[in-house]
């Protein structure tokens, strides 16, 4: 008994409970709205006051929700570790209390210097909405180029609002049922393009070697080697009944069988012979579902003979729990003492 045997057994056993479902697709969209304000701050006589902290007038406007906001700009010299002022920090400060606002600030000084702040998320006032560090030498160069020793700072204050539009659910078209099995069944029934005759007892079946070889390694080996079956396109089978082989062919072409409950034992043997693994597990599941005190010993013999390990394990467990009710027990004990030993061992472990 292997984990693979148990997995295949459980998958087929549970597949009867699964039902198809329709697919659906759900989508949503995040929309970003922006609102810009352009402000200008001119600092005159810059060279005389560049080492002082300066503040602009208050600017104001509304955000996307109509809330009135107020902000101002600050110029503040910054000293390095040697107490030398080498940079100036420009702050954009909110004057509002308890207002959350996403914003981004762009600052342009002169004609070429441009600075962009990171987008700040949910800033609550009064706080800095954005800031920039600007080298003294850059501002000095601009002020010296100005006739009035002035520096002009142009700001673009952008308020950002994100909105999530409600999602929509689209019912996708129902996937049509596959017709592959029906198409192959029609080929078998109509005998279209067949290239081999299989004789089973007194009955003959026409089939397609390519399909047989694709589904069964045993058939593939017959047709690949220089055997009589490959040369004459004829095959004789003597150890399978015609009614059973008819269902073997049906399974090979359609993955289905008719009358599985009536011939599960025979189909199990044939599936083992032709290496049809899925059909073999289907038979195991059917035999276990229909197990009874009358059929248990026969099922165990078939499971042991054909390597149906999961079925063998479960049948031994069934017999071990129902020893007194099992039919033909004495005859079975004489015929298969090895299996009887496994049953008794299991029965003793249950007690």
pLDDT tens track for 151-183: 888 899 888 887 776 666 777 778 888 899 999
Distance from C-alpha of 170 to C-alpha of 65, rounded to nearest angstrom: 31
pTM over 0.75: no
From residue 264, alpha-carbon distances to 2, 287, 294 in Å are 22, 6, 15
Report the 10 Å Cβ neighbour count for 343: 24
Q: What is the architecture of the domain spanning 32-162?
A: Sandwich (2.60)
Lowest mean pLDDT among 148-162, 164-178, 247-261, 313-327: 164-178
> Taking the domain 179-350, which CATH number applies?
3.30.710.10
Nearest alpha carbon to residue 221 among 209, 237, 204: 209
The residue extents of the domains of the chain are: 32-162, 179-350
Q: With contact defined as beta carbons under 8 Å apart, do 101 and 69 qualify?
A: yes
The tens digit of pLDDT for each residue in 91-120 reads: 888 877 666 777 788 888 877 677 877 655
């Amino acid at each position: 008994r292997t984990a693979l045997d148990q997995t295949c057994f459980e998958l087929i056993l549970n597949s009867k409970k699964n039902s198809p479902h329709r697919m659906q697709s759900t989508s949503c969209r995040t929309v970003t709205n922006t609102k810009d304000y352009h402000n200008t701050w001119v600092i005159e006589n810059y060279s005389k006051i560049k080492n002082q902290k300066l503040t602009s007038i208050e600017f104001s406007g509304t955000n996307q929700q109509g809330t009135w906001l107020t902000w101002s700009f600050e110029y503040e010299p910054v000293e390095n570790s040697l107490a030398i002022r080498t940079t100036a920090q420009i702050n954009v400060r909110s004057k509002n209390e308890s207002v959350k606002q996403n914003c981004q600030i762009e600052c342009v000084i002169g004609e070429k210097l441009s600075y962009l702040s990171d987008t700040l998320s949910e800033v609550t006032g009064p706080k800095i909405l954005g800031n920039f560090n600007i080298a003294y030498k850059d501002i000095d160069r601009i002020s010296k180029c100005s006739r009035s020793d002035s520096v002009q700072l142009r700001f673009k204050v952008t308020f950002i609002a994100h909105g999530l539009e409600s999602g929509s659910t689209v019912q996708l078209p129902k996937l049509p049922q596959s017709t592959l099995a029906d198409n192959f069944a029609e080929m078998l029934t109509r005998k279209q393009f067949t290239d081999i005759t299989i004789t089973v007892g007194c009955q003959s079946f026409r089939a397609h070697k390519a399909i047989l070889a694709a589904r069964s390694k045993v058939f593939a080996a017959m047709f690949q080697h220089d055997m009589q079956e490959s040369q004459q396109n004829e095959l004789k089978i003597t150890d399978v009944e015609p009614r059973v082989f008819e269902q073997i062919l049906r399974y090979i072409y359609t993955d289905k069988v008719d009358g599985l409950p009536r011939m599960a034992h025979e189909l199990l043997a044939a599936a083992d012979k032709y290496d049809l693994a899925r059909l073999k597990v289907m038979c195991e599941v059917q035999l276990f579902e229909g197990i009874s005190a009358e059929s248990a010993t026969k099922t165990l013999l078939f499971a042991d003979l054909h390597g149906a390990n999961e079925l063998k394990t479960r049948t031994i467990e069934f017999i071990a729990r129902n020893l007194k009710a099992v039919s033909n027990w004495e005859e079975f004990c004489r015929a298969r003492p090895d299996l009887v030993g496994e049953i008794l061992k299991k029965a003793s472990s249950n007690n």
